[in-house]
Amino acid sequence: MRHTGPDTKVHGVIGNPISHSKSSHLYNTAFRSTGFNGIYLPLLADDVSKFITTYSSPDFAGIVENLICNMFLAGHLCV
């Protein structure tokens, strides 16, 4: 695990199931190779609405939803 600090931006893919996702390996490699101060995590969430309401922080730069969550997020995040 790499070192993180107060300036580290958190990115992730959200869903359930999420263990199959290879996104964190891909993006963390890209972040390291470009010197970007960020981390990309698989985020297991059964209730997307509760996750979004609970986990809000300026350090949380964004999420990518898996296909299962796609329709839910489109209805709640897109204007």
Q: What's the CA gap between 63 and 43, in Å, rounded? A: 9
Q: Is 40 helix (H, G, I), strand (E, B) or coil?
A: strand
Q: What is the pTM of this model?
A: 0.70
Above 60 in pLDDT, residue 78? no
Q: What's the CA gap between 41 and 33, in Å, rounded? A: 17
Per residue in 6-35, pLDDT (tens digit) is 888 888 888 888 888 888 999 999 999 999
Q: Is 11 helix (H, G, I), strand (E, B) or coil?
A: strand
Q: Both tokens of residue 6?
A: 């107060």
- Which pLDDT score is estimated for 79? 37
Kindly state the helix (H) or strand (E) to which residue 54 belongs, with its residue range.
helix 48-54
Amino acid at site 2 = R
- Which pLDDT score is estimated for 30? 95
What CATH code is assigned to 9-73? Answer: 3.40.50.10860
Q: Both tokens of residue 12?
A: 């992730």
Per residue in 52-63, pLDDT (tens digit) is 777 766 667 766
